[in-house]
Structure 1
């Protein structure tokens, strides 16, 4: 144990944090591990990361590594894909388009779409929600200012995408002309709401989608995405517990859906435009997805997981 501790300290002293995070494939420990795994179908970067984990385990650092809020080593944003279980391609083999339905019953919704994990757009899903008229940039700016959003825990996630913002507070205080899309400078952000006060206010203006049965549990945590024309979220797959619904309250958003890599030769990519008042439902844990905000007014969506 002491030997492993000394070895780990030597590695950390020799290489600064940036090197360990971005170029750990060059660590000399990688050579020893790669030699033993040279016949396995693993790349050097993955094996190097495994080597560091083995060192941490041997040195007794696993408790701090997995329990502390501050990570010892920052994982790449797509690290969850490395350990994703292979998909059974029947979720996409017979799917050639994202269908649009309306006035769908809960039983039909579950049997036709949720069960087989087929994406769907419900055209009358959010048609009469007050949120479509009430939710604006200024509404969120005022809401989070009054709810003291800055005091929230770090569990509230913020996605700056390609903007320079580092927090929701910073984004909601952007220049007024930029916020109103008047100066031609694009922006798109997303965040999870874990502010109880803000959550209560938000839920006054929308409801659980009518096509979800009473037995379905709608996760309280909401996701909000907002921004102007241009690329929204990059192509990715989520790492959440359940399928998700996302209501298009303002603007129009183009969704590009792709099958898992192991199904590329059996399935095809699809695209669908979600209009204001429509709700898209997709299992984002299984379908890769990318979004584009179409020309017009600012896009505002709200969504949640459901079981």
Structure 2
């Protein structure tokens, strides 16, 4: 009985909190649509608080009016949106970072009959051709391809400097700067940067690292990222 009562109380409290949040959102929008600025809302809140404190010191009781409550609620919500949230998420763009745990938790269920049934070993291919591999590709069976990148031109082309120049561009003109921002923004908006156990928070920071660290020089912190 006590457990049921506690559950009901918690549900009611959650519903009230949700209703309060929805009302605060509405009040905040109405305040801004009415022409109020953040400073005006804050000043109104401070003025109301000062009035209440002075009344209490004089032995008088002050009961806020409906308009005062609206201003107070709007001020609280505005402070939360304008001040607290930006500070909380200044170091990360995504509320839920994209990582392998999230990917595994949200991917479609796998048909075990296609993946596990009749599988006793890993199929190993040596220097297979594109035609041979296309026959078994996407079969959901474990395959190990050896020497697949032996003649891959990217092994000679891809490097830290290659990708840095690809994203940073060359020069500082308006066109280059616009392209640079769009490249980084496309990665950040989709939360496709994987810092793993490094101290980087964005791809922009990766390409700004010292050359010594980029080259894995002695005494430098190792790094491994993906995007």
TM-score range, shorter-chain basis? 0.3 to 0.5
Of Structure 1 and Structure 2, the greater strand share is in 1
Of Structure 1 and Structure 2, the greater helix share is in 2
Query: Normalising to structure 1: TM-score of the pair?
Result: 0.35
Please say which structure displays the higher CA radius of gyration.
2
By relative contact order (CA 8 Å, sep 6+), the higher-ranking structure is 1
